[in-house]
Chains A and B, each alone.
Chain A
């Protein structure tokens, strides 16, 4: 039976952070429900697409940009950041140095991409490899809470790509923020909020349902 008007959103999400923090592993876990400790180091950028049935009326597609963590390649990332509407910054709880770099990544992100209204794009901090012994600040939740507030993150999660901990929840939070932004933007622009960016006509939509990868 044809469903009523179905909304569809496509969002570009950046996944950044120090080399070896687990960006690729998080994406592969999230998209393919699979973990390997041996994913190759990303060179340049890799892509993945995650489809979420957000609610009855909404399909959300996340285009995940898995960006190499090596600092040296940072000066080409401006092009990669273009048009992103959300980001994850990943650090490795077993290596305090990867946390120390988080702020650098956040500043880089905010400098290179903003929402159309000039605000920074929503960004969720992921404290990855939480299945392993932590080093430094990762042991102190309050401190991270503070850090996250101070530096304008949308929130943070302890994650483990290996044990599949909190990755879905983190993504949910990010999408929630993105949707909220979309509504604000739309209101500010006197554009009807109910109107989706991408709209499906009925017949295609019903067929699409069964093939969703999520």
Chain B
């Protein structure tokens, strides 16, 4: 029989004895598996006459009772928090780690488990929180009693549903129970598609004759059948399906094909029961799809099976580039004879702080093979050019500026940001006379950059990118030109339409979906697949996340362009992989992930992240044949678009990057192994960007 209860909270939290309470208690034990969750769903029924309240819609499987409930909880804001910060309590007695357990929409039993108790409603943990955000004491009070009691909630027994009605236009789903009760869910921020897919995966349905959007429930699904693929629209006549498909494919060929194939691949991904002899066929189909479609980067066709990466090989960091290393590779005229070797050392160990003038080479201000005399000439020229542009803005009078809004706006932005850039560094502190000369230089360089590239101008974040360069190089002219090179690499972060940022956020997601599909699936489910929480990381290349010393190492590593293009995407992936359990086992939602990631600031261990990022690279490299095209392109496993194939006949194995010995064991002598091998002539895809042609 259908169960349906509206719960109102009462002061005697523990006193009432009703079905709701026992359900809630179950929520707090491990018997409870969350199959589905959707934020920002409002409810309309006989009790709730308007869409006044937003809630969270979940589908929970209570294993022991073998009941599945659609649960809706009113929630103004779906976050958990407590007084000072929103630290999460870590659960000590968590038993299983669903590392590779993929979430299935078609079978509740393979869903990821959510151990409810460690997501703690803020109202229940005041007495414990003080200064102990990582408290590991067992949460006995939570597990034994005091279950969380939402003040407003609705429960619908899934197997008591008679029918449901879908309106895709209005983004609503109405559930009609056998008891006659009707509840209308409005999905405020998108379509109810995932919810409907979930219903279809659990219930056998048939379209009501003559009623376009009404589906009658016939019973439970017994197991995935071919029909569960819902390859085409639900339960329609084959002829209708066919004509619809044909019309779709005419109008939107790529989308239609991909969405059909996506349904195949989802089925393959999440179905563990593919007969072994079919696997090769499935893989072949995937390969055909990958080859046939010249895919936009927006689409990823996943192979028939989840791409299985080998375990991550351990990687070790090396020593920083030393003076000996540096002078050893130079001839008597000061030419750097073996820039590849230098880059390899820097990739693996950074640069000794006193030797950071090599940044001028790394960033391309000086060609590696220039002589000392040539460099003097270059500097002279660059210096003149710099001062010419500096002169330009310095000669603008206030009067002129008043009539030049675009310039004035840029200048004002710079002034606002310069005075609050890295002020905790002694370098930017006022001296005893109250002078802040270095801050002034920072401003001058940014103003001159406005003259160098007026269209880009100044965007917040640029002062963060400049500051470490000035601190290190100190010379105004050299810092400017190195900044120009750095901006060449990162200018798309500051696109007016944010295209560059969106692309990279998408790349992080794509990478995660290969590396750790359970996390990417999870992020999709909590509506965090936009990856906005990586925004600051990417915009200023982790500048805010690491200490001043660490950021210099990280950047010089990135400037080597080893081992592949877009290595910074792998840094993101490494950090998220490391935080995966925190995110998933605490059941963090979009806001909470944003907060969690913000709070990682200055708590990250650079060396271990670099090792992991390189390890991930090696994992991908090993599986490169099976990777989707966008991933291959992203990390240079195939030539980038429009490039002459003769340039790129070399494969990644022939690049300037040396793998750290055998992947199965730690690299004992990373530096030596690099030093051994100096003669790599073949270019990797296009990212061996040193200035040999200059």
Contacts and interface: CB of A to CB of B under 8 A. Distances in A.
Interface of A: 4-5, 8-12, 19-20, 37-41, 43-47, 49, 51, 61, 63, 68, 70, 72-73, 75-76, 79, 82-83, 85, 95, 97, 116-117, 185, 188-192, 195-202, 204-205, 207-209, 211-213
Contacts of B540: 43
A20 B417 CA distance: 8
A8 B150 CA distance: 12
Contact of A43 (B122, B423, B535): B535
B544 A40 contact: yes
Contact of B460 (A70, A82, A117, A201): A70
Interface of B: 8-9, 11, 13-14, 40, 42, 48-54, 74, 76-79, 81-86, 121-127, 129-130, 146, 149, 151-152, 189, 409, 412-413, 416-417, 419-424, 459-461, 463-464, 494, 496-498, 530, 532, 535-536, 539-540, 544, 590, 594-595, 598
Contacts of B590: 79
A79 B412 CA distance: 28
Given A61-B122, A189-B48, A68 B420 contact: no
A124 B40 CA distance: 25
B49 A79 contact: no
B544 A200 contact: no
Contacts of A95: 412
Contacts of A20: 413, 416-417
Nearest to B10: A199
Contact of A39 (B189, B420, B536): B420
29 contacts: A9-B76, A40-B544, A41-B416, A41-B420, A41-B460, A41-B463, A43-B461, A44-B539, A46-B598, A63-B79, A70-B459, A70-B460, A72-B459, A72-B460, A72-B494, A76-B498, A79-B530, A82-B189, A97-B412, A189-B49, A190-B49, A192-B8, A195-B9, A199-B11, A199-B151, A201-B149, A204-B123, A208-B126, A213-B84
| Interface of chain B, main secondary structure | loop
Given A38-B420, A41-B417, A197-B76, A189 B532 contact: no
A75 B535 CA distance: 13
Contact of B594 (A8, A45, A70, A195): A45
A49 B53 contact: no
A8 to B, nearest CB: 5
Contact of A61 (B49, B81, B536): B81
Nearest to A85: B76
Given A5-B11, A43-B540, A85-B76, A188 B50 contact: yes
| Residue with the highest number of chain B CB atoms closer than 10 Å, among A63, A70, A116, A198 | A198
A196 B123 CA distance: 12
Contacts of B84: 49, 213
Given A11-B77, A207-B126, A47 B423 contact: no
B52 A198 contact: no
A117 B50 contact: yes
B416 A19 contact: yes
Nearest to B77: A12
| Residue with the highest number of chain A CB atoms closer than 10 Å, among B77, B83, B535, B590 | B77
Nearest to A204: B124
A10 B122 contact: yes
A43 B83 CA distance: 24
B535 A49 contact: no
Contact of A116 (B53, B77, B461): B53
B521 to A, nearest CB: 20
A72 B494 CA distance: 8
A19 B679 CA distance: 51
A201 B77 CA distance: 20
Nearest to A24: B420
B151 A198 contact: yes
Contact of B532 (A19, A76, A185, A213): A76
A49 B48 contact: no
Nearest to B544: A43
Nearest to B146: A201
A211 B151 contact: no
A198 B496 CA distance: 42
Nearest to B409: A97
B81 A43 contact: no
Contacts of A9: 76
A63 B147 CA distance: 24
Nearest to B422: A40
B591 to A, nearest CB: 8
A39 B423 CA distance: 8
B50 A10 contact: no
List the 6 closest pairs (A to B, CB-CB), nearest first. A208-B126, A20-B416, A207-B127, A201-B13, A38-B423, A116-B52
Contact of A63 (B14, B77, B536): B77
| Residue with the highest number of chain B CB atoms closer than 10 Å, among A95, A200, A213 | A200
Contacts of B78: 83
A116 B40 contact: no
Contact of A44 (B86, B459, B532): B532
Contacts of A208: 123, 126-127
A13 to B, nearest CB: 10
B40 A82 contact: yes
A197 B130 CA distance: 25
B567 to A, nearest CB: 21
A85 B498 CA distance: 27
A37 B86 contact: no
Contacts of A85: 76
B9 A44 contact: no
A199 B9 contact: yes
A97 B413 CA distance: 12
Nearest to A50: B83
B539 A43 contact: yes
Given A208-B127, A211-B130, 9 more contacts: A9-B76, A20-B417, A40-B420, A47-B595, A116-B50, A116-B52, A188-B52, A201-B13, A208-B123
B351 to A, nearest CB: 26
Contacts of B85: 49
A213 B148 CA distance: 23
Nearest to B81: A49
Nearest to B80: A10
A8 B77 CA distance: 13
B639 to A, nearest CB: 33
A198 B32 CA distance: 23
A73 B422 CA distance: 22
B536 A43 contact: yes
Given A197-B76, A211-B127, A43 B40 contact: no
B211 to A, nearest CB: 30
Contact of B129 (A11, A192, A205, A211): A211
Contact of A8 (B14, B42, B54, B123): B123
B81 A10 contact: yes
